[in-house]
Amino acid sequence: DTAVSQTPKYLVTQMGNDKSIKCEQNLGHDTMYWYKQDSKKFLKIMFSYNNKELIINETVPNRFSPKSPDKAHLNLHINSLELGDSAVYFCASSQEGTSGYNEQFFGPGTRLTVL
C-alpha cells in the first residue's frame, strides 16, 4: 500500500490555466506538507498543515492555495499558472503531536510543466 500518494504524476498545461494536485496519506499522520523542487533540485517548503490547520505558509504567491478537507488529505490548487511554476511538487506527511518530531514521508511527486 502506498503511504503517501499524489495525483496526477505528470501535469502539462498552458499559462493562465488553473490546476489542482491531490495528496493523500494512509499513515494516520497529523501533519502534511507541500514542497517545491525547482530545476536545480532544490527543495523548499511551501505549506504545512497540522490537523487541518495551516501552520506554515511560506512566501509563495497567493495564486497557490492549499486545502485540507481532513487529516489524510492536502490538496494544492494553483490559479493563473505561470512559466515559473514549472517544477516538481512533493507532498509529505509526519506525525508530530506529543510524541515529538518524527520523520517525514514523501509522495512520488507531481511534475508540473507550464507551456
Partner 1 sequence: KQEVTQIPAALSVPEGENLVLNCSFTDSAIYNLQWFRQDPGKGLTSLLLIQSSQREQTSGRLNASLDKSSGRSTLYIAASQPGDSATYLCAVRFNKFYFGSGTKLNVKP
- Asked if 102 is part of the footprint of partner 1 (rule: CB under 8 A), the reply reads yes
Half-sphere exposure of 28 (CA within 13 A, CB side): 0
> If we measure between CA atoms, which residue out of 42, 53, 39, 2 comes closest to residue 23?
2
Question: Which one, 58 or 82, has the nearer CB to partner 1?
Answer: 58
- Least distance (Å) from partner 1 to the CB of residue 103? 4
- Least distance (Å) from partner 1 to the CB of residue 101? 5
- Least distance (Å) from partner 1 to the CB of residue 16? 27
Q: Which of residues 23-82 bind partner 1 (CB under 8 A)?
A: 33, 35, 40-45, 48, 56
- Least distance (Å) from partner 1 to the CB of residue 80? 27
Question: Contact positions toward partner 1, by CB under 8 A?
Answer: 33, 35, 40-45, 48, 56, 90, 92, 100-109
